[in-house]
């Protein structure tokens, strides 16, 4: 659906940031050093994927580590699809960005004045910093939110849902929003930055909060920006699985500290799947857990913490300990029932190494963006670092490139999906989640992908819908699923988090990336960065 909005009386601000996870908060703070910033978020500043991140931030700071080693680990985990130049930027600029967080007051854990690091899956060194044991994201978010709220250069607009980007002859001019009273507001800016996070809510079981509905990918795609690698969705191997209990992340750091995965027969199984056992790449562990569940006919396996001891568990993982205890499970005495859950999307809005998208004046960073840094499988705890590094790169670009519009059109276009019956939002969302969980999950095959494609091409719009966040979120989830299934059908191999029963092995011919835009689907070589001529 396409509508036009008038620009009469509207002012063009310098910078507009959409999203309030680590990427949005940090980028807003950095941009505020050079001009005024408007930060828009669909709920409150505190509600984001970042807040729920437990493990930490991977960064090479210790004497026994180096950016080169971090680079090698990231490339290996990415299963041949990482853009080397992007990984080089991540690992070499990451240390300075984390030092900035320390200077901002983020309370990373220390012992005797030294930063404490832990090891997670597929890391060759302990390099993951954490805060309050297993509450790293929450502590980072608290610190950045406070700084944003007290910064006079930043105007915060909470409970403003981004309906569509506003586009015209010179690219992206800003965004159309809905507030909690369904009032529409047009916000214009010389540079618009998407930092809207992921799309975990496409699945029944996810570690993501309710806000993770793929809004940024939909916003950018409708505005004409290409997206990349959407077939690659990372499932975390260990989310709490108890009856009538919300999905709750059990950080990979538990396995890094010595946690052991056992099946329903209490047998340790990971050594039979991979030589790194519990510390194998995340896609391998998630798939192995699922296979053990299918073999034993159970909906979970167990994470055995007996080697850690009660004191280490309570000290290192206080959040997990207290949460499980609130559900009647004492993890110092009993193993944790766990199962995989949708966690992170490697794919996203295609960006260059400075966050620029295929639409002039539109940038993206964090989970919504795809610079090529994660490849087919993100290395554990690289996500928070990604938001910092490429958020700062947007600042670097805007410091040296003065963006402006030659003229403001009298009208701008706003494009968004409207395919389903607005009276069936709740039922349609559940049906979509069930379909995605069954056919677009950890293990895929042609028949299921075709069924999903058939369902997603059907529309049921009998009336012009009243725009509400619930309705628009469903449309965004559907669009994300449509793009995902197209890419998953095209990639006739198994690689990283994309595993197909009918094509169970990697195919060298598919060492390339799938790009989708409103004009169609194409591929590019892995080593080729995105280049946009603005």
How do residues 364-381 score in pLDDT, each as one tens digit? 999 999 999 999 999 999
pLDDT given for residue 184 in this prediction? 95
pLDDT given for residue 55 in this prediction? 80
CB-CB contact of 83 with 529 (8 Å): yes
Give the structural domain span for 426.
417-513
Question: Is the backbone of residue 483 left (phi > 0), alpha (psi -120 to 50) or beta?
Answer: alpha
pLDDT given for residue 101 in this prediction? 97
Q: What is the DSSP letter of 271?
A: G
Question: Does residue 486 belong to any structural domain of this protein?
Answer: yes
CA distance 495 to 493: 6
**Which of 341, 366, 398 is at the close of a domain?**
341
Question: Does residue 22 belong to any structural domain of this protein?
Answer: no
Number of structural domains found in the chain: 2
Q: How many C-beta atoms surround the C-beta of residue 411 within 10 A?
A: 12
Structure tokens at 188: 């214009």
CATH number for 452: 1.20.58.100
Query: Which residue in 138, 241, 255, 282 is the catalytic one?
Result: 282
Question: Does residue 85 belong to any structural domain of this protein?
Answer: no
How do residues 394-420 score in pLDDT, each as one tens digit? 999 999 998 999 999 999 999 999 999
pLDDT given for residue 229 in this prediction? 98
Which residues on adjacent β-strands are paired with residue 495?
498
Question: Does residue 355 belong to any structural domain of this protein?
Answer: no
Question: Does residue 276 belong to any structural domain of this protein?
Answer: yes
CATH number for 259: 3.90.700.10
3-state secondary structure 460-512: CCCCCCCCCHHHHHHHHHHHHHHHHHHHHHHCCCCECCECECCECCCCHHHCE
Q: Distances from the Cα of 93 to the Cαs of 85, 100, 139, 230, 520, in angstroms?
A: 12, 11, 22, 26, 34
User: Is 119 noted as a catalytic residue in this protein?
Assistant: no
**Which of 315, 341, 367 is at the close of a domain?**
341
The answer for residues whose C-beta is within 8 angstroms of residue 519's C-beta and 6 or more apart is: none
Angle formed by the axes of helices 383-400 and 22-31, nearest 10°:
30
CB-CB contact of 339 with 442 (8 Å): no
Which residues on adjacent β-strands are paired with residue 235?
342
CA distance 534 to 404: 11
Does the model's pTM come out above 0.85? yes
Question: Does residue 26 belong to any structural domain of this protein?
Answer: no
Question: Does residue 101 belong to any structural domain of this protein?
Answer: no
CA distance 197 to 21: 7
**Which of 341, 362, 392 is at the close of a domain?**
341
Question: Does residue 337 belong to any structural domain of this protein?
Answer: yes
Name residues of the chain where pLDDT drops below 50.
none
pLDDT given for residue 514 in this prediction? 98
pLDDT given for residue 48 in this prediction? 84
């Amino acid at each position: 659906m396409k509508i036009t909005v008038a620009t009469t009386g509207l002012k063009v601000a310098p910078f507009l940031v959409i999203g309030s996870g680590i990427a949005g908060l940090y980028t807003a703070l950095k941009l505020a050093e050079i001009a005024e910033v408007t930060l828009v978020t669909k709920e409150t500043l505190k509600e984001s994927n970042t807040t729920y991140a437990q493990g930490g931030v991977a960064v090479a700071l210790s004497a026994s580590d180096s950016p080169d080693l971090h680079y090698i680990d990231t490339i290996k985990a990415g299963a041949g699809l990482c853009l080397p130049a992007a990984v080089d930027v991540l690992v070499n600029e990451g240390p300075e960005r984390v030092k900035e967080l320390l200077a901002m007051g983020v309370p990373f854990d220390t012992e005797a004045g030294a930063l404490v690091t832990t090891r997670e899956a597929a890391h060759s060194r302990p390099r993951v910093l954490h805060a309050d044991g297993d509450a790293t994201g929450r502590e980072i978010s608290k610190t950045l939110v406070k700084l944003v709220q007290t910064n006079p250069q930043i105007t915060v607009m909470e409970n403003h849902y981004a309906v569509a980007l506003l586009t015209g002859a010179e690219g992206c001019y800003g965004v159309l929003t809905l507030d909690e009273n369904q009032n529409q507001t047009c916000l214009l800016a010389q540079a618009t930055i998407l930092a809207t996070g992921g799309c975990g809510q496409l699945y029944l079981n996810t570690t993501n909060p309710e806000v993770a509905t793929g809004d940024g990918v939909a916003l950018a795609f409708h505005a004409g920006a290409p997206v990349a690698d959407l077939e690659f969705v990372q499932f975390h191997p260990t989310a709490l699985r108890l009856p009538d209990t919300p999905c709750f992340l059990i950080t990979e750091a538990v396995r890094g500290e010595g946690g052991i995965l056992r099946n329903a027969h209490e047998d340790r199984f990971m050594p039979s799947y991979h030589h790194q056992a519990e510390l194998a790449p995340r896609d391998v562990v998630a798939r192995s857990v699922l296979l053990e569940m299918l073999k034993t006919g159970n909906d979970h396996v167990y994470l055995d913490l007996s080697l850690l001891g009660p004191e280490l568990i309570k000290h290192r993982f206080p959040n997990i300990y207290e949460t499980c205890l609130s559900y009647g499970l004492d993890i110092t005495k009993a193993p944790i029932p766990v199962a995989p859950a949708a966690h992170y999307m490697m794919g996203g809005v295609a960006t260059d190494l400075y966050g620029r998208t295929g639409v002039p004046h539109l940038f993206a960073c964090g989970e919504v963006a795809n610079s090529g840094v994660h490849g087919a499988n993100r290395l554990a705890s690289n996500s928070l670092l990604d938001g910092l590094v490429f958020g700062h790169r947007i600042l670097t670009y805007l410091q040296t490139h003065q963006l402006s519009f030659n003229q403001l059109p009298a009208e701008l276009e706003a494009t968004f999906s409207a395919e389903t019956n607005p009276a069936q939002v709740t039922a349609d969302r559940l049906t979509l989640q069930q379909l995605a969980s069954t056919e677009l999950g950890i293990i895929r095959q042609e028949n299921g992908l075709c069924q999903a494609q058939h369902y997603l091409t059907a529309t049921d719009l009998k009336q012009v819908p009243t725009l509400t966040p619930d309705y628009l979120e469903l449309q965004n989830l559907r669009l994300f699923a449509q793009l995902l299934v197209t890419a998953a059908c095209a990639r006739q191999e198994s690689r990283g988090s994309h595993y197909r029963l009918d094509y169970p092995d990697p195919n060298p011919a598919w060492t390339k990336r799938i790009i989708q835009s409103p004009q169609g689907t194409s591929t590019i070589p892995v080593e080729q960065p995105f280049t946009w001529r603005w």
